[in-house]
Amino acid sequence: MSRPAPLTEAAIIERFFVRPARRRDVLLGIGDDAAVTRLAAGHDLVTAADAIFEGVHFPAGTPARAIGHRCLAVNLSDLAAMGAEPLWATLALSLPAPDSAWLREFARGFFALADAWRVALIGGDTVRGPLGMSVTVHGRVRRGRYVPRSTARPGDGLYVTGHPGDAVAGRLLLERSRGGRAAAQLRQRFLYPQPRLTEGRLLVPLASAMMDVSDGLHDDAGKLLRASGLGADLDAAAIPLSPALRAVAGMPRGRLLALTGGDDYELLFTVPARREPLLARAAQRWPCGIARLGTVSARPGLRWRLDGRRYRFADSTFRHFAPGRR
Amino acid sequence: MSRPAPLTEAAIIERFFVRPARRRDVLLGIGDDAAVTRLAAGHDLVTAADAIFEGVHFPAGTPARAIGHRCLAVNLSDLAAMGAEPLWATLALSLPAPDSAWLREFARGFFALADAWRVALIGGDTVRGPLGMSVTVHGRVRRGRYVPRSTARPGDGLYVTGHPGDAVAGRLLLERSRGGRAAAQLRQRFLYPQPRLTEGRLLVPLASAMMDVSDGLHDDAGKLLRASGLGADLDAAAIPLSPALRAVAGMPRGRLLALTGGDDYELLFTVPARREPLLARAAQRWPCGIARLGTVSARPGLRWRLDGRRYRFADSTFRHFAPGRR
């Protein structure tokens, strides 16, 4: 009986992560000191880097497949928010101890998402340490054709894709196995966020500013508008809550989760009034849907209203290192 | 008296890491969802990603400035090994607790090296977690003009830059404050490894294969030659030991440290016989120097000799996750 080879760093890379690149623009992939890739003429490179760690970005006990999906998804979401087409990724993986079953599931989650978007893993690093991953993704846009955060204008409409609040509800429901079908849907939304890459690219000619929602609708809308030196008048009733979230959390609490929860990876974007009809037409074909939250204003600050009155709520948005938070 | 603003993630990035890019090829730097950069026409992109963690890649108590230097240096060394010119970097920083003095020193170390090579920090992420950094660096080569690992040929000379063994000796000496000037030099070599970027670029027309030495001369020479399906006949007396290493460790032990120590970040490369005179001429101007270790052979395996006999030594090379090692 032959013993399996010990899981050295080289063996981990060889067994779980070396795969044919399936992209002709990858000249040299995993296995050398660095990767060599070729960017098509007439394009700019778009680069995003996000790290996730157990206990901070996902709870202990999260399935390995979901972690593999997530570490790539959160980065692809950043590319989506620029309107970029994804190309290549690098992965730095820190593991407390090598475990074949865990690695197989992690790689399955990572590559299922990578394959869906034709992303080639071109390099990385595997080290012993706390469970966490740092991914850098590369994408491309036609020269100069990206959507920054800081270019919204007064009078633009503010929009969001999909159903914010689902993911944070799903995270809260992870600890409980009950809840039926709606709860299962929400857990899935936390475990397998879908980057809005198709929508992001279609928004390049339409949106004046864009970002992805990772820290909650309220916090991120504040960031988007501050980046442009602007504010907005917003309607809390327009926040698009999913049937599953309404069923599990109810209306007022669902709205609060959408505003302050985070982990949504939806797109938040502004569109000049003259292009809003074009957007409405385009978005009819988007499975995730869109909602118009309100109008950008020259007056700084976010003013949420509900049923004709000012809508106040406790801002419990999670911020890394903020005092008095986890 | 005004209180300093709390060190949230945004404040850390703003206070310590946002700086003018000083490169015209950075269209959009830190602060958006992703960075946008422009690769000059006629070039390929070279990408390397390496993570370092406290307790694995540097001991607890390593000065913050040296850690900031190291996390970039180990990645620039990978670019050097391809013959690439460095351009841009992303940094994912994991911190147990934010500390202004530590962050200031870390950033000082990182940017001193970045500025020396005109590398722009274009993005990243700061999260609460164990002390560690994952850096991805981007560089460029003229189309197709890079040096892989796997293209050595029998008869080529095998060379190394600088003085392998210094860094591991410096690491061992970190725990002791004594040792005089030679020990201080060696500690400096561990704390501030200098990527051989200039030499790497000059080697593009000369070298047939190249990599950087991070795991020890013996282990890495084995990797380089296996990647080409070859072996080598090598002379242990040719290993270039520094005067400092010889003074501190003596000759036989110094040689062993060079062979199995690691952390050198020197270049290991092969050169076809007909180009060896060109190399000798070019390297006269390299402050780090080069040494010819032996000759590549079609027969697999590394055969070290010393004073006319086979040279045997215990291979104590560190490997991540290898059983029975740290």
Give the per-residue pLDDT at A4: 55
* For residue A98, pLDDT beyond 80: yes
User: Which one-letter DSSP state was computed for residue A16?
Assistant: I
Q: Average pLDDT in the B139-144 region?
A: 98
Which residues in A lie closer than 8 A to residue B91 (C-beta atoms)? 49
pLDDT of residue A11: 84
Average pLDDT over every residue of B275-286: 97
Asked if B86 and B197 touch (Cβ cutoff 8 Å), the reply is: yes
Nearest neighbour of B92 by CB, restricted to A51, A56, A320: A51
Cβ of B127 within 8 Å of Cβ of A98? The answer is no
Which DSSP letter does residue B45 get? E
Per-residue pLDDT at A10: 79
Kindly list the strands in the beta sheet with B26-28, ordered across the sheet, starting from the edge strand earlier in the chain.
Answer: A120-128, A85-95, A132-142, A43-53, B35-37, B26-28
Confidence (pLDDT) at A14 = 84
- The rounded mean pLDDT for chain B is 92
pLDDT at A283 over 80: yes
In chain A, which among 198-217 make CB contacts under 8 A with chain B? Answer: 210-212
CA distance A5 to chain B (A): 10
Sheet holding B120-128, edge to edge: A26-28, A35-37, B43-53, B132-142, B85-95, B120-128
| Strand intervals (E) in chain B | 26-28, 35-37, 43-53, 85-95, 120-128, 132-142, 157-161, 209-213, 231-235, 266-271, 290-297, 301-306, 309-310
Is B179 in CB contact (< 8 Å) with chain A? no
Q: Do A321 and B8 touch (CB under 8 A)?
A: yes
| Separation of alpha carbons B155 and B302, rounded Å | 14
- Cβ atoms of A264 and A214 within 8 Å: the answer is yes
User: Which residues 253-292 on chain A approach chain B with CB closer than 8 angstroms?
Assistant: none
Pick from A16, A18, A36 the residue to mutate for testing the B interface (most B CBs within 10 Å).
A36
Contacts of A34 in chain B (CB under 8 A): 46-48, 78-79, 81-82, 84, 139
CB distance A34–B211 less than 8 Å?
no
Q: Which residues are CB-contacts of A225 (< 8 A; sequence separation ≥ 6)?
A: A152, A231, A232, A296, A300, A302
The H or E element that residue A222 is part of is: helix A217-227
- What values do phi and psi take at A121, rounded to 5? -80, 115
Per residue in A223-242, pLDDT (tens digit) is 999 999 999 999 999 999 99
- pLDDT tens-digit readout, B184-225: 999 999 999 999 999 999 999 999 999 999 999 999 999 999
Query: What pLDDT, in 10s, does the model give residues B94-116?
Result: 998 889 999 999 999 999 999 99
Q: How confident is the model at residue A62 (pLDDT cuts 50, 70, 90)?
A: very high
Asked if the model's pLDDT at residue B324 lies above 60, the reply is no
In chain A, pLDDT over 70 holds for what percent of residues? 94
Sorting pLDDT into bands at 50, 70 and 90, what band is B3?
Answer: low
pLDDT for res B316: 62
Lowest mean pLDDT, pick from A239-248, B34-43, B175-184: B175-184
Please tell me the predicted confidence (pLDDT) of residue A1: 42
Using CB atoms, pick whichever of A51, A210, A320 lies closest to residue B8: A320
Q: Do A37 and B44 touch (CB under 8 A)?
A: yes
Domains of chain A, earliest start first? 9-142 (3.30.1330.10), 157-310 (3.90.650.10)
Type and span of the H or E element at B201: helix B197-203
Mean pLDDT of A97-123: 95
Name the residue in chain B with its Cα closest to that of A7: B321
Q: Give the integer Cα–Cα distance in Å for A179 and A186.
A: 10
Whether this model's ipTM surpasses 0.90 comes out as: yes
